[in-house]
């Protein structure tokens, strides 16, 4: 009873709450880091150094008037933010934050579940998340959101191909689709996969930026051309849901990159005798530190790089990333056969 | 017991959403019901112990193909009200005839299944698969026993893809 119901439920509650708190503070971190990059201070008024700003933002968004445009498709307009948010949250079910540890004399795994098709689950749930953006643009019945959602869906579909093809080479290295097994494979091979699959890492990172609509691939939200992108007509909490979904997806992408290429919960130099002192840092701490580095990298990239043009975006996706992904897959396969 | 209840609930949802797909007037709503339908079919695969198939069902059908449907629907009828069919009741007899034929076929299959229950679930040589795990077993079967059908399906898709490119792009 305790093992089958209570502990999983507790884990789900903890992970969901931690994610939502993490997401709200991601917003603050982004505002702060971009402000520093531009020699500003960022939010300073609410709480010391603005640390309570996310709470103020949340209250503001919740009590704002919630407007539905008259000619909008009411049902789809309501469903779109939910469709964006749900896939972004249910992905956390298979992300391993750590191995199985003993807590109060009871083995507790630091992941909600470990399914045989973990990586495939993440990819397929992410592919359903596209609907939120497409439907938001369609249901608003307004030209800018529609243009933005067409851009977004073309972009997401294009980069999904490259990322999924690249993930196959990681699966080849690990010999499993399970997230926990992929980390264990990195332990057994004494190296993070980023050193064995550097090309795959670069493709997944670029594709991840594009799939979360982050700069320099934030064309669906290009303010200068589209007034605000696919969520132009949304206000109040529904707008906030799109915002939260985007940041939740960023955390997902960085956790997946950490799990696949940076050894998940493993310290640097995993399974090496002289580097064993690194295991004194708890496993989940390694995971969180590495994920945080990637989240910081995403913000850093946004503060640094200008936005791509639409044709450049498509060229990178179809003419560079996809051929590179196929070549990487073929080379990985050949090397694997030769080594075995 | 629990499995039976889950099966009937999922099956009812699949049929219900299937009816909604063809009875809804708004094309975009109809496509959305199709997505829900595919998601419940995936749930059925999970219930049958085939998580790999379920994930592929969501990835390819719900997440890939239907997005393209939605694209086409959104680009084709941008808020023009659907035109009424000139004669919605034409070929009623043909429709009923086809439906009856399908019903007879299903009945025949069900009767066959009841008559020979063992033949209906003849698992072909599952004992010979040297790997465990759903994904591994699917892969093993595809690349050993079913290699030729698999390759033919891939060739068909490749031909369709090249055909689409040739049709869409007049000057190559």
Place of tokens 């953006």: A133
Rounded CA gap, B132 and B134, in Å? Answer: 7
For residue B120, what pLDDT is reported?
47
Tens of pLDDT, residues A74-122: 888 888 888 888 988 888 888 888 787 777 777 777 788 888 888 888 8
DSSP assignment, residue A230? Answer: G
Nearest Cα residue to A97 out of A19, A209, A167: A19
* Cα dist from A161 to A166, A305, B7, B139, whole Å: 9, 24, 33, 21
Chain B residues whose CB is inside 8 A of the A138 CB are 28, 70, 74
Sorting pLDDT into bands at 50, 70 and 90, what band is B85?
low
Phi, psi (5° rounding) for residue A137? -65, -40
Inter-chain Cβ pairs, chain A and chain B, closer than 8 A: 74
Distance (Å) from the alpha carbon of A265 to chain B's nearest alpha carbon: 24
The structure tokens listed for B1 are: 């017991």
Tens of pLDDT, residues B89-147: 677 888 889 999 999 999 998 888 777 766 545 555 555 667 777 788 888 888 888 88
Note whether B79 contacts A: Cβ–Cβ < 8 A: yes
Q: What is the CA radius of gyration of chain A?
A: 21
Q: Is the ipTM of this complex over 0.85?
A: no
Stretch (H or E) spanning A37: helix A7-37
Contact B52 A123 (CB under 8 A): no
For residue B157, what pLDDT is reported?
92
The structure tokens listed for A1 are: 């009873």
Sorting pLDDT into bands at 50, 70 and 90, what band is A6?
confident
Q: What is the mean pLDDT of chain B?
A: 82
The residue among A275 and A189 whose pLDDT is bigger is: A189
Q: What is the mean pLDDT of residues B55-64?
A: 87
Rounded CA gap, A253 and A7, in Å? Answer: 26
Tens of pLDDT, residues A228-248: 777 777 877 888 888 888 888
DSSP B100-167: HHHHHHHHHHHHHHHH-HHHHT---SGGG----SHHHHHHHHHHTTTHHHHHHHHHHHHHHHHHHHHH
Q: What is the mean pLDDT of residues A7-30?
A: 87
3-state helix, strand, coil in chain B (%, to 5): 75, 0, 25
Local structure of A185: helix, strand or coil: helix
Tens of pLDDT, residues A297-326: 988 988 888 888 888 888 888 888 899 999
Nearest Cα residue to B55 out of A94, A117, A129: A117
For residue B154, what pLDDT is reported?
92
Q: How far is CA A116 from its chain centroid? A: 21
Nearest Cα residue to A127 out of B165, B94, B49, B59: B59
Rounded CA gap, A141 and A77, in Å? Answer: 9
For residue B128, what pLDDT is reported?
66
DSSP assignment, residue B89? Answer: T
Nearest Cα residue to A204 out of A278, A299, A294: A294
The residue among A161 and A220 whose pLDDT is bigger is: A161
The structure tokens listed for B64 are: 């890939």
Longest dimension (CA), chain A: 67
Could you count the other beta carbons within 10 Å of the beta carbon of residue B60? Answer: 14
The residue among A221 and A50 whose pLDDT is bigger is: A50
Assess whether pLDDT exceeds 60 at residue A277.
Answer: yes
Contact B62 A128 (CB under 8 A): yes
Rounded CA gap, A264 and A283, in Å? Answer: 9
Place of tokens 């996706």: A317
Which pTM does this prediction carry?
0.83
For A15-38, b/e burial (b = at least 16 CB within 10 A) is beeebeebbbebbbbbbbbebeee
Percent of chain A with pLDDT over 90: 4
Rounded CA gap, B17 and B32, in Å? Answer: 10
Note whether A177 contacts B: Cβ–Cβ < 8 A: yes
- Contact (CB, 8 A) for A248 and A259: no
Note whether B70 contacts A: Cβ–Cβ < 8 A: yes
Rounded CA gap, A26 and A57, in Å? Answer: 13
> For chain A, what are the domain ranges?
64-339
Could you count the other beta carbons within 10 Å of the beta carbon of residue A217? Answer: 25
Contact A153 B67 (CB under 8 A): yes
For residue B103, what pLDDT is reported?
94
Size of chain B in residues: 172
Phi, psi (5° rounding) for residue A108? -125, 125
Nearest Cα residue to A136 out of A120, A119, A124, A152: A152
- Contact (CB, 8 A) for A22 and A288: no
Note whether B52 contacts A: Cβ–Cβ < 8 A: yes
Q: What is the mean pLDDT of residues B45-68?
A: 87
- Contact (CB, 8 A) for B111 and B120: no
Note whether B139 contacts A: Cβ–Cβ < 8 A: no
Contact A138 B28 (CB under 8 A): yes
Sorting pLDDT into bands at 50, 70 and 90, what band is B152?
very high
Q: Which domains does chain B have, with CATH numbers?
A: 1-80 (1.20.120.1200), 126-172 (no CATH)
Contact B58 A128 (CB under 8 A): yes
Assess whether pLDDT exceeds 90 at residue B16.
Answer: yes
């Amino acid at each position: 009873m305790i093992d089958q119901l209570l502990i999983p439920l507790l884990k789900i509650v903890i992970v969901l709450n931690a994610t939502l708190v993490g997401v709200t503070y991601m917003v603050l971190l982004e505002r702060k880091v971009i402000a520093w990059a531009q020699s500003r201070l960022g939010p300073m008024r609410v709480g010391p150094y603005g640390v309570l700003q996310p709470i103020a933002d949340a209250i503001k968004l919740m009590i704002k008037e919630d407007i539905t445009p008259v000619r909008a498709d009411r049902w789809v307009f309501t469903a779109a933010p939910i469709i964006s948010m749900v896939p972004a949250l249910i992905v956390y079910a298979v992300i391993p934050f750590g191995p199985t540890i003993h807590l109060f004399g009871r083995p507790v795994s630091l992941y909600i579940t470990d399914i045989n098709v973990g990586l495939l689950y993440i990819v397929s749930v992410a592919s359903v998340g596209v609907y939120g953006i497409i439907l938001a643009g369609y249901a608003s019945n307004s030209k800018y959101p529609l243009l933005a959602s067409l851009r977004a869906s073309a972009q997401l579909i294009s980069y999904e191909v490259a990322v999924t093809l690249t993930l196959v080479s990681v699966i080849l290295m690990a010999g499993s689709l399970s997230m926990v097994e992929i980390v264990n494979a990195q332990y057994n091979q004494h190296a993070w996969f980023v050193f064995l699959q550097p090309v795959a890492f670069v493709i997944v990172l670029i594709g991840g930026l594009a799939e979360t609509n982050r700069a320099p691939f934030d064309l669906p939200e290009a303010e200068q051309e589209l007034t605000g992108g696919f969520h132009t007509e949304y206000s109040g909490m529904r707008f906030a849901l799109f915002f939260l979904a985007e940041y939740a997806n960023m955390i997902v992408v960085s956790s997946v990159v950490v799990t696949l290429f940076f050894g998940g919960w493993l310290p640097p130099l995993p399974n090496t005798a002289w580097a064993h002192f690194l295991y004194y840092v708890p496993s989940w701490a390694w995971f969180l530190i590495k994920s945080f580095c990637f989240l910081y990298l995403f913000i850093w990239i946004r503060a640094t790089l200008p936005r791509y043009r639409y044709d450049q975006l498509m060229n990178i996706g179809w003419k560079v990333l996809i051929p590179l992904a196929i070549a990487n897959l073929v080379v990985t396969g050949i090397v694997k056969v030769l080594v075995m | 017991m629990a499995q039976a209840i889950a099966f009937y609930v999922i099956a009812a949802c699949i049929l219900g959403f299937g009816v909604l797909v063809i009875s809804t007037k708004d094309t975009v709503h109809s496509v959305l019901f199709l997505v829900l339908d595919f998601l419940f079919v995936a749930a059925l695969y999970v219930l049958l112990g085939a998580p790999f198939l379920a994930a592929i069902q969501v990835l390819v059908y719900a997440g890939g193909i239907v997005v393209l449907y939605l694209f086409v629907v959104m680009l084709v009828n941008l808020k023009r009200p659907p035109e009424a069919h000139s004669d919605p009741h034409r070929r009623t007899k043909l429709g009923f005839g086809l439906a009856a034929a399908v019903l007879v076929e299903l009945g025949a299959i069900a009767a066959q299944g009841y008559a020979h229950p063992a033949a209906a679930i003849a698992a072909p040589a599952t004992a010979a698969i040297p790997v465990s795990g759903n994904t591994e077993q699917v892969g093993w079967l595809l690349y050993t026993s079913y290699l030729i059908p698999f390759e033919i399906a891939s060739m068909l898709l490749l031909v369709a893809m090249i055909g689409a490119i040739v049709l869409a792009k007049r000057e190559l």
